[in-house]
Structure 1
């Protein structure tokens, strides 16, 4: 019973976080990409591709994460396991976000040096 509740809480919170962060990065990423690339159509295309890859990677990780979930037998354990799994999702989102920013920044620097 505790596992089902953990799954529902985990899926709800992590899916909400993933979708909300994706939307925010998509909106904020438009101006950042336009600053870097100076071509609005190319920026929109790159931003859509990044958003699609972001959703696929994170929602896939969330689904795979459920396969390796240990059996939960108490309320305290349920809260601890669910919080840790949601924390991992938040950390992965943060790392992916900064990797994208740095890779686009270095790509921009490389293009301007040519």
Structure 2
């Protein structure tokens, strides 16, 4: 087997496995944040969580596919490991950046929901409370 083909196969196997692992971790733990943001609306939290995971898969697997090509031919085992380390390192960095972006977005959504809950009064206004003494104000 050509070592370039071996590099492609190993790169794809590791990259796809890492993408699936990170996506499942984001899905499982991000659901807690989304449940808080949606104020306990589990169906909405699950739907948003699923959409975020699908977007994560699309972006990362698209990047993995675009970054598949090895620039130079791989002639020996050392070059195989060199090519794989560079490619997998870049994929891991992209996964990390996407993970941080997801956490940042989820945290912003959670904070905004918490602020909205704090600014809404517990009881809706019942009307205008006028003056208690019923005397008209005097102008001086």
Per the normalisation by structure 2, the TM-score is 0.73
1:92 counterpart residue number = 94
Structure 1 unmatched ranges of 5 or more: none
- Any residues of structure 2 matched to 1:46-65 within 5 Å, and which? 46-65=48-67
Is residue 34 of structure 1 aligned with residue 42 of structure 2? no
Deviation, 1:26, is 1.0
Per mean C-alpha deviation after superposition, the further-off stretch among 5-14 and 23-32 is 23-32
Structure 2 counterparts to residues 1-114 of structure 1, below 5 A: 1-38=2-39, 39-67=41-69, 69-71=70-72, 72-114=74-116
The RMSD of aligned alpha carbons is 1.5
The 10-residue stretch of structure 1 (104-113 or 93-102) with the greater mean CA deviation from structure 2: 104-113
Contact 1:14 1:62 in 2 (8 A): yes
Distance 1:113 1:93 in 2: 30
Question: 2: distance between equivalents of 1:37 and 1:94?
Answer: 26
Q: Name segments (4+ residues, structure 1) moved above 6 Å.
A: none
Cα displacement (A) at 1:113: 3.6
Number of matched pairs: 113
Shift of 1:51: 0.7
Mapped to 2, the partners of 1:99 and 1:25 lie a distance apart of 11
Larger-gyration structure (1/2): 2
CA contact (8 A) 1:34 1:40 kept: yes
Please give the secondary structure, in 2, of the residue aligned with 1:73.
Answer: coil
Gaps of 5+ in 2: 117-140
Give TM-score scaled by structure 1 length: 0.88
